[in-house]
Amino acid sequence: MRILVTEDDADLRLAITTSLRGAGFAVDPAGDLPAADELLWVNTYDCAVFDRLLPGGDALGYVERKRRDGWAVPVLFLTALGDPAQRLAGLSRGGDDYLEKPFLTEEMVARVRSLCRRSALPQPVVRRCGDLELDAGRREVRRAGVLLSLTRTEFDLLDRLMADAGKAVSRKELLACAWPDPRVGNVLEVAIRNLRRKLGEPQPIRTVPSVGYLLES
């Protein structure tokens, strides 16, 4: 398990890093947000530990922006800002856990271990294509941030098209993903027409003659 630790206090950063390494984790320490950002570009992490107030800004805003881009690594915030409003802000804007300073390093290690176990579980797929976002876990679709109201069939068709965005998906494959029993007639065409109407313009679904449909990537 690999952990990112971002803490500007050198002594505390060393103590956290030493404790986590002693518990068997690989740890990459960073002293500020630019250093953390660089590490995140080149490494994959099972958990990230952030001090809230860092040189360059509040880590809360940084994590919140990363979440909007689809970053799903569990985050533990460490902070002296321990009043209920601050804890609520940390948990509602991208944090998975919140530990108030001063803290026992043993508790911090236990919380990191718990978050790592959580991240190891299979996560629902979130697909993105252009300004479209499909969350398979919540069965929600958004376009340009606006929640769309799709039927089960429309959701399943869009999910299949987004899985192979930029490639043609055959009519047979689309029928199989949305209807468990063989269908005849124009049921697929009707569903695609309704889906296109709900997606709006510019229209991302293109008809591929003699094949099926394609979602523009």
Domain match, 101 and 183 both:
no
Confidence of residue 121 (pLDDT cuts 50, 70, 90): low
* Tally of domains in the chain: 2
Written as one letter, the residue type at 3 is: I
Q: Give DSSP secondary structure letters for 109-120.
A: HHHHHHHHHHHH
Give me the pLDDT at residue 120, please: 63
Picking from 92, 120, 148, the residue at the C-terminal end of a domain is 120
Distance CA 99, CA 82 (A): 8
Q: Is the pLDDT of residue 101 over 70?
A: yes
Q: Peptide bond preceding 102: is omega within 30 degrees of 0, i.e. cis? A: yes
Domain match, 112 and 152 both:
no
Domain match, 186 and 170 both:
yes
Domain match, 116 and 131 both:
no
Task: Give the CATH number of the domain where residue 102 resides.
Answer: 3.40.50.2300
Confidence of residue 212 (pLDDT cuts 50, 70, 90): very high
Q: What is the pLDDT of residues 17-62, one digit of tens each?
A: 999 999 999 999 999 999 999 999 888 899 999 998 888 788 989 9
Give me the pLDDT at residue 172, please: 87
Residue range 199-214: mean pLDDT, rounded: 94
Picking from 99, 120, 141, the residue at the C-terminal end of a domain is 120
Domain match, 92 and 14 both:
yes
Domain match, 27 and 85 both:
yes
Q: Is the pLDDT of residue 102 over 60?
A: yes
From the list 92, 120, 97, the residue with the least C-alpha distance to 110 is: 97
Give me the pLDDT at residue 2, please: 92
More confident residue, 69 or 130: 130
Domain match, 86 and 190 both:
no
Domain match, 106 and 9 both:
yes
Give me the pLDDT at residue 72, please: 83
Residue range 165-173: mean pLDDT, rounded: 90
Domain match, 134 and 93 both:
no
Residue range 161-179: mean pLDDT, rounded: 87
Confidence of residue 6 (pLDDT cuts 50, 70, 90): very high
Domain match, 174 and 91 both:
no
Q: Which residue range is the domain that position 89 belongs to? A: 2-120
More confident residue, 93 or 163: 163
Nearest 5 degrees, angle CA 33-CA 37-CA 39? Answer: 120
Distances (CA, A) of 89 to 65, 84, 152: 14, 9, 34
Q: What is the DSSP letter of 145?
A: T
Provide the phi-psi class of 30: left if phi over 0, else alpha when psi is between -120 and 50, else beta.
Answer: beta
Domain match, 135 and 184 both:
yes
- Percent of the residues in the chain that have a pLDDT greater than 70, as a whole number: 94
Give me the pLDDT at residue 176, please: 81
